[in-house]
């Protein structure tokens, strides 16, 4: 099942990222993953958190522009070629990856976790599951 990623618009100025993380910390939101895409004037922070709806609420209350996007999260064995094997599933099922980023698990030292944004999340999920891949749920990610 897909999970929700939070995308936050950030002006590219000193301290703005810290403001965002401070608000999340003050409301006990635990970030699992963070990626930032930037230009000269602004950035988009992409977050995976343990409590999506609380995070979006407190960010919006603090006047951050935040939106939700469906993404797929898949465990990758922490071994040489682990990502290559995972990407073969995407190639075999003709699923194009728009972007991806990773995070490591706390207690699980045998896996990393890849976050994938694809054009049609539901279709990709069906194809990848039928190929034998396990897609993590929001609850799975909150437990990592």
Specify whether 97 is located in the same domain as 65: no
What's the whole-model pTM score? 0.88
pLDDT at 108 > cutoff 80: no
Model pLDDT, residue 90: 93
pLDDT at 118 > cutoff 90: yes
Distance of CA 114 to the CA centre of its chain: 8
- Identify whether the C-beta of residue 113 lies closer than 8 Å to the C-beta of residue 131: no
The whole-angstrom separation of Cα 72 and Cα 125 is 7
Kindly report the CATH number assigned to the domain that includes residue 50.
3.30.2130.10
The whole-angstrom separation of Cα 114 and Cα 97 is 11
Give the tens place of pLDDT for each residue, 130-139: 888 889 998 8
Average pLDDT over the chain reads 91
- Residue 39: pLDDT band by 50, 70, 90 thresholds? confident
Phi, psi of 93, deg, nearest 5 = -100, 10
**Domain boundary pick from 69, 92, 107:** 69
**Domain boundary pick from 69, 88, 106:** 69
Specify whether 11 is located in the same domain as 64: yes
Domain of residue 65: give its range. Answer: 3-69
Nearest to 72 by CA among 2, 143, 144, 142: 2
Kindly report the CATH number assigned to the domain that includes residue 77.
3.30.70.260
């Amino acid at each position: 099942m897909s999970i929700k990623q939070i995308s936050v618009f950030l002006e590219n100025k000193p301290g703005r990222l810290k403001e965002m993380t401070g608000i999340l910390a003050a409301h006990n939101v635990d970030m699992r993953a963070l990626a930032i895409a930037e230009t000269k004037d602004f950035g988009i922070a992409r977050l995976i958190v343990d409590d999506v709806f609380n995070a979006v609420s407190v960010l919006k209350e603090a006047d951050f522009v935040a939106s939700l996007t469906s993404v797929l999260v898949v465990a990758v064995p922490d071994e040489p070629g682990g990502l290559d094997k995972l990407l073969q599933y995407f190639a075999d099922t003709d699923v194009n990856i728009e972007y991806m980023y990773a995070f490591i698990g706390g207690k699980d030292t045998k896996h990393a976790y890849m976050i994938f944004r694809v054009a049609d999340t539901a279709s990709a999920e069906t194809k990848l599951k039928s190929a034998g891949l396990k897609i993590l749920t929001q609850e799975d990610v909150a437990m990592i």
